[in-house]
Amino acid sequence: MTTEFDITQYQIAEQPYYQAQNNEITLYEAAYNARLPVMIKGPTGCGKSRFVEHMAWKLNKPLITVACNEDMTASDLVGRYLLDANGTRWVDGPLTLAARYGAICYLDEVVEARQDTTVVIHPLTDHRRTLPLDKKGELVVAHPDFQLVISYNPGYQSLMKDLKQSTKQRFAAMEFDYPLCSVETEIVSKEANISTDIADKLVRIAETARKLKGHGLDEGISTRLLVYAAALINGGIPARDACRMALVRPITDDKDIRDTLDHAIDAIFA
């Protein structure tokens, strides 16, 4: 005897804080209303995942998030047979659950997954909106509320880690970047419950680091790291120590770049 799966466990109960930068909320709502699959591109920690969470809450739809990695197989996405006391039973994977019961499925950092894994999403991203479960001999027709969202950081693209054009051209795309200084200050202040003066100083440090991207830094300081630094400051850690711990040491091992950013911290928090 099977029981109906309770998809509401993936419902987001409380509104995730998100500060809009442009018209991304309107664009996403239009894409969802048309049930278009959406691809979100942007640097690490710029708010891609928070945006998806916010939109799932706003649309009142369950959200199933998958953190993609190079060891992930197609079975990890669609499901597999498992042994139990009564023999074998089929267990749906996160993609199948979302398609079957009408959730938004969010594949975070999708380029980390192997290309032979990501091709399983193709039938869900065109007019068919179906998911073949070959091992089970079942064709899942996507629920009317189902939507597929993927994200990745274009800064980490390479020949070995990129989406095929046959995959990219199945999605409507949105491009994210770090917010304007005034907006990012508001975000950090709100997220970390810290004064706008300290938030502004943290954002100024981030701006300094981001100018070094491509000149010794692979990636700048993310909004996420700014919130971490603010949390340390709230916990009683001196601002300069908090910034070194949360903003500089995580992003570089290069002594010259560390010294440059450390000097910027000292100047800003003088």
CA 46 to chain centre: 9
Q: Which domain holds residue 251?
A: 181-268
Task: Give the domain CATH number at 148.
Answer: 3.40.50.300
Q: Which long-range contacts (CB under 8 A, 24 or more apart) does 131-138 make?
A: 131/78, 131/95, 131/96, 131/99, 133/78, 133/79, 133/96, 135/75, 135/79, 135/80, 135/81, 136/79, 136/81, 136/90
**What 3-state DSSP class applies to 24?**
helix
Q: Are residues 115 and 162 in the same domain?
A: yes
Indicate the residue among 175, 191, 218 that finishes a domain.
175
pLDDT in tens, 7-45: 999 999 999 999 999 999 999 999 999 999 999 999 988
Q: How many angstroms separate the CA atoms of 104 and 111, rounded?
A: 19
Q: How many angstroms separate the CA atoms of 95 and 148, rounded?
A: 9
pTM for this model (two decimals): 0.90
Class of residue 263 by CB neighbours under 10 A (exposed 0-12, middle 13-18, buried 19+): exposed
Q: Are residues 97 and 228 in the same domain?
A: no
The answer to whether 90 and 63 have CB atoms below 8 angstroms apart is no
Q: Are residues 76 and 148 in the same domain?
A: yes
The answer as to whether 232 is a domain residue is yes
Q: Are residues 89 and 207 in the same domain?
A: no
In the β-sheet with 38-41, what is the strand arrangement from edge to edge? 63-67, 104-108, 147-152, 38-41, 172-175
Q: Are residues 189 and 159 in the same domain?
A: no
Q: Are residues 88 and 131 in the same domain?
A: yes
pLDDT in tens, 142-164: 999 999 999 999 876 554 567 88
The answer as to whether 2 is a domain residue is no
Q: Are residues 34 and 164 in the same domain?
A: yes
Q: Are residues 168 and 218 in the same domain?
A: no
The answer as to whether 1 is a domain residue is no
Q: How many angstroms separate the CA atoms of 200 and 204, rounded?
A: 6
Q: Are residues 153 and 51 in the same domain?
A: yes
The answer as to whether 107 is a domain residue is yes
Q: Is residue 64 very low, low, confident or very high in pLDDT (cuts 50, 70, 90)? A: very high
Task: Check the CA dihedral 178-182-183-189 and report its sign.
Answer: positive
pLDDT of residue 156: 63
pLDDT in tens, 157-214: 554 567 888 899 999 999 999 999 999 999 999 999 999 999 999 999 999 999 998 8
Task: State how many domains the chain has.
Answer: 2
What are the tokens at 70? Answer: 């190079």
The DSSP bridge pattern shows strands 38-41 and 147-152 to be: parallel
